[in-house]
A and B are shown apart, each in its own frame.
Chain A
């Protein structure tokens, strides 16, 4: 596995005080927090920062980490030393304090798990009584088409698992999840018993999935309704026309009434996301002007300008 330079991640020197580290963490956490940040790769970056802080905030973990030596560089191949964890005296349950959160820890790197994961000297002590597993959460991004049709999705979930020899391995388990048709953005799915396994005979936690529908190039989603901008030629808007419009279920023919205006909305009932009731599709009309880039097109515009008494600024009152 690859070595991680936690000092470099936070951008502090190896001699930084606990207070400095905390300040830097707070600043970076605010910058990259996935709920708040607009930075690209915010989530990955936030996890790196969180992982680094999880080690450097804790005097014991930091001291142990420092023993790995200052000559190690990020990305360098790394194996935990065989005597890792020995020679330290740990307070029991060192990670039970403050922010430490097993759900978060499970997302840390293999490097972190191998040094500080469950089962080793740094794991929580005295937690062997039967305890129900915690609920886990994951976010699933789906395409709008998938929300419309439904489908199956295979999720790879990683969780630290203790091996018989006491070392920790990240096990990947794949679950096949049915995405029902007609999910809306932000909807929650619950997968019973797919969270953290319970200890002893205790029940496993549940896995909650928060579904997000990715923005679509064509359709704009609002609940179950979708809106499409439909460009019309000026004569189609003025005279009416039959046009082919896209819907999630495939193209349909639609009548555009005469005297349509830009900004008007037409509705196709029941053509949004399925549900009870299903959503609608709205067509927001816009008028596209033909370019005046040939002599013939220019002649048409000139003729209109002569023949039509049209003042587009009549309402400006000037």
Chain B
């Protein structure tokens, strides 16, 4: 094993950042046809008219990547993946709320 150490430039893809469709396909390792299908299903909302001019918000890259992994690893189809991504996000939000409620109840009732 060889170890080399380098310092590299980090670029933050902020909420305002948009990625071209080519970058998105490269980064999420999915076919442009699948991206188009996921857009049609409403999982991501790109800006631009034609698919080749589409730009996707950096925020939504994570959704596409999750969908890509589910399609590749679990063999679900595109609609199934879109549904799963949305349900997973909903679950995550509920868990955050649940944590907050539990914490609130605990500190109110326990008094310690």
Residues of A within 8 A of B (CB): 26, 29-30, 33, 35-36, 46, 50, 99, 101, 103, 134-135, 137, 154, 161, 169-180, 183, 186-194, 205-206, 208, 210, 215, 220, 222, 227, 229, 231, 262-263, 284, 286-291
Contact = CB atoms under 8 A, between A and B. Distances in A.
Contacts of B66: 35
Contacts of B13: 187-190
A50 B10 CA distance: 31
Interface in B65-112: 65-66, 69-70, 72-75, 84, 88, 96, 99-100, 103-104, 107-108, 110-112
A217 B11 CA distance: 29
Interface residues of B, number: 41
Contacts of B88: 35-36
Prevailing SS type, chain B contact patch:
helix
B14 interface: yes
B52 interface: no
Given A175-B6, A220-B103, A192 B11 contact: yes
6 contacts: A30-B74, A101-B72, A174-B6, A179-B10, A193-B8, A288-B112
A288 B10 contact: no
B2 interface: yes
Interface stretch (B31-39, B40-48, B56-64): B56-64
A29 B13 CA distance: 31
A194 B107 contact: no
A220 B99 CA distance: 9
A174 B10 contact: no
